[in-house]
Chain A
């Protein structure tokens, strides 16, 4: 590739903005085109009801890469991740657990389980550390490796063998490909601990605790804790994206919202720019797609421009979302027995046991929503009262499982019914909850697909199972951010290392583009 000058980034999601930032800083002429009215994509703040604001999809920062924060000087641009939060696993009897990065507390927990939690987290965080060489780099190819790939693999090997040590490495290799259900049963007695960790392992995926490779999905999620704790940013996730956008603009990138790209123009196997919905054509040496792989390749490029089997692999990659996002405006703070206001401001989890999580998933297998869903709840207005009128609160709920392909499709009555189940479930923990609700909003995976342009409404732009991770993310043939189309790159969650508001795919894509453009 000759030295590129102009870059178009399709989509101003957080990864698109991170990528824009790096490329603009490297002196490229960067234009970011966003179909929605605001930047941020899944990391945005939305209005619902009258005067209530909440994070549109992602509602917990978990967590933006420290390298990205440092490189881009985001703290100076006004990044405020917010205070750290713990997870509180709710218990109907009021014996809630508080799970932090290294310790767990709960009145009726045994010493064995408390100790086991510390050991378990320490061990698993060390696995995550060992995998770290894979994370901030392009995933190495196993065939036709370049020097950087060899270096990455060598570092990975070193970290696994000498970072972990023999015993830990053996244990890592034992559990790495199996399911979280078996592992947690070996380690813990307490059902609530197991339920909470299992929920973390499957959240956002079409998986239950017994699904193979859920240890891997747990490790990928745990990576957020390596860089600090989870936080709820004041002003919602949109504020994080605004800071990224501000920083990108300062670096020289142009950002256009309400600008929908209709087509990525490909001539003789090379991208030449994009065509907008308006018919306007913008030419560029490089096009970087923040969209998911199916949108990028099948909608924007088009299968006929690609080799048949590559297009087929993209087409058959698993991208059906399973989480509904629910927003509730409340006339006051919910009352959950045994929780203080400070505790209500943490990440609340309804996943009382692994069986509960597995049963919730069972429905999704058959195109039904869960009878008793797994809920991840935040009340961001506790930390930031400006999100709603004084005295009121907003609640943000991620409800699993609400499969994209519901048996009869998501009709209004299905949405109502599922919303009702979620409200009733919360009501079991919070007395009088239903009467506190002023306004509701439910986004099923189908709504997420429509509103945010994410195929299948999938949290991570595609399952992060082992066959869709690392050098096979989104599929082999485009797993190093570059694609079969010369000049076209991926920078979103569909690329390695996947979903979460981390900025890592955006960072890695930018490094890849710059290194390819130098050669």
Chain B
């Protein structure tokens, strides 16, 4: 066996196929681990990356996302038993959002299912799920292959995303509808494009063999070099801002995933995450169905909510109360300052009483003024809809910019 095929223990974080380019562009060297890959949190400044997503175009390395290829005669049956959503009507070249639960109806992870061709699926997930997939495959004729490391992926998001990729040489993009997949060729290699993303804006995800990673990157950046459009690589911190604006949940950050939960009641059901709309009871049995049916019959006890906090003080990790100095009813999970909405936007876990949200919610905020700690109260408001929605997300063909 050649030594280069052995795991290199000196290398704590693995480079993605795009690393040779990313390494040069990441000026502040703010790296973190995403599923073991060396991933940028910030390239240069957070603000410029954020505004690239919202005002021009952003590009992000998506390779570390967990990817599984699901095939075999029982592939659809397997997936439908795995996830809470009914995916029996998922057509070829379509993508759908899913989440899946353990026996107790508590969420293990969320992700997307791509129907790449008849009977062939790709499951993308936030966390490593292979063992759970294998456990769920008992008694079914299905093949599960982890392909995280065998597919290079880029996310290109923002108002000018379609224009830039069209300029790159990808044809037929304008007709691609949200959650649709397209198999095409670019500069002589195979490329799969899906109109999917995590930003709530117009955007595409590009999937190809790792050998094509650098040619793909260079082809896209050539458009920027020609001076037609701006394009910036973005890190995880900018993504965190836009995903909270767009109302997407993040397993492991917004709530503890069931697999990693030890203490009773620290895991969350789809209903408790406000994701009840993906639960389909009128399909064949899926893991957690019995528990979820039981839960649904009772008033909901707590919810993960989209919570806007008044004022300009950052409510990081704040406790929440039902009145100023009242009873503690929850905590802020993640928070950002939204430059586009000009507000503190958060995800928060709060207790419901008799199935109802508290009438008032107050955050107790600790903040510093020149290294001196102070405390204040800020009123909060639950948002039922995503904080930020734009018609660009769903318009086909994409809106002019």
Contacts and interface: CB of A to CB of B under 8 A. Distances in A.
B134 to A, nearest CB: 9
B287 A309 contact: yes
A307 interface: yes
A305 B81 CA distance: 9
A307 B139 contact: no
Q: Which bracket fits the contact residues of A?
A: 10 to 19
Contact of A303 (B82, B132, B140, B289): B140
Nearest to B140: A304
B290 A304 contact: no
B231 to A, nearest CB: 43
29 contacts: A266-B285, A269-B285, A269-B289, A298-B138, A298-B139, A303-B138, A303-B139, A303-B140, A304-B81, A304-B140, A304-B285, A305-B285, A306-B285, A307-B103, A307-B288, A307-B289, A307-B290, A307-B291, A308-B82, A308-B102, A308-B103, A308-B132, A308-B135, A308-B138, A309-B103, A309-B135, A310-B103, A312-B135, A312-B138
B284 interface: yes
A302 interface: yes
Which of A307, A308, A311, A477: most chain B Cβ within 10 A? A308
Interface string B43-84: 000000000000000000000000000000000010001100
A483 B389 CA distance: 46
A312 B102 CA distance: 12
Contacts of B135: 308-309, 312
B290 A309 contact: no
Interface string B85-118: 0000000000000000011000000000000000
A410 B132 CA distance: 34
B136 interface: yes
A309 B286 CA distance: 12
Interface string B122-148: 000000000010011011100000000
Given A269-B293, A308-B82, A477-B103, 12 more contacts: A266-B285, A269-B285, A298-B138, A304-B81, A304-B140, A306-B285, A307-B288, A308-B103, A309-B135, A311-B139, A312-B135, A312-B138
Nearest to B134: A312
Nearest to A299: B139
Interface in A468-508: 477, 484
Interface string A134-173: 0000000000000000000000000000000000000000
Given A269-B285, A309-B287, A304 B139 contact: yes
A256 interface: no
In the A-B complex, list the 9 residue pairs whose CB atoms are closest, starting with the nearest: A303-B139, A307-B103, A308-B136, A308-B287, A303-B138, A312-B135, A309-B103, A307-B287, A304-B81
B41 to A, nearest CB: 35
B16 to A, nearest CB: 31
Contacts of A304: 77, 81, 139-140, 284-285
B139 A302 contact: yes
A309 B134 CA distance: 11
Interface in A303-336: 303-312, 315
Interface of B: 77, 81-82, 102-103, 132, 135-136, 138-140, 284-285, 287-291, 293
Interface of A: 266, 269, 298, 302-312, 315, 477, 484
Contacts of A303: 138-140
Contacts of B293: 269
B284 to A, nearest CB: 7
Nearest to A266: B285
Nearest to A310: B103
A265 B201 CA distance: 47
A76 B284 CA distance: 50
Contacts of B287: 307-309
A477 B102 CA distance: 14
Nearest to B288: A307
Nearest to B135: A312
Nearest to A306: B285
A271 to B, nearest CB: 13
A312 B135 CA distance: 6
B138 A311 contact: yes
A400 to B, nearest CB: 31
Nearest to B293: A269
A316 to B, nearest CB: 10
Contacts of B288: 307
Contacts of B103: 307-310, 477
A484 B290 contact: yes
A139 to B, nearest CB: 20
Nearest to A143: B264
A311 B137 CA distance: 10
A305 B139 CA distance: 10
A269 B291 CA distance: 11
Nearest to A303: B139
B57 to A, nearest CB: 41
A266 B135 CA distance: 21
B287 to A, nearest CB: 4
Contacts of A315: 138
A452 to B, nearest CB: 23
A484 B290 CA distance: 8
Nearest to B281: A268
Contacts of B291: 307
A477 B291 CA distance: 12
Contacts of B284: 304
Contacts of B136: 308
A276 B156 CA distance: 57
Given A304-B284, A308-B132, A269 B290 contact: yes
A410 B81 CA distance: 37
A446 B285 CA distance: 33
Nearest to B100: A308
B124 to A, nearest CB: 19
Contacts of A484: 290
Contacts of B102: 307-309
Which of B82, B140, B290, B291: most chain A Cβ within 10 A? B290
A308 B288 CA distance: 9
Nearest to A315: B138
Contacts of A266: 285
Contacts of B82: 308
A290 B13 CA distance: 54
A348 B111 CA distance: 63
A34 B103 CA distance: 32
Nearest to B285: A305
Contacts of B138: 298, 303, 308, 311-312, 315
A298 B139 CA distance: 7
Which of B103, B289, B290, B293: most chain A Cβ within 10 A? B103
B269 to A, nearest CB: 14
Contacts of A477: 103
B139 to A, nearest CB: 3
A270 to B, nearest CB: 11
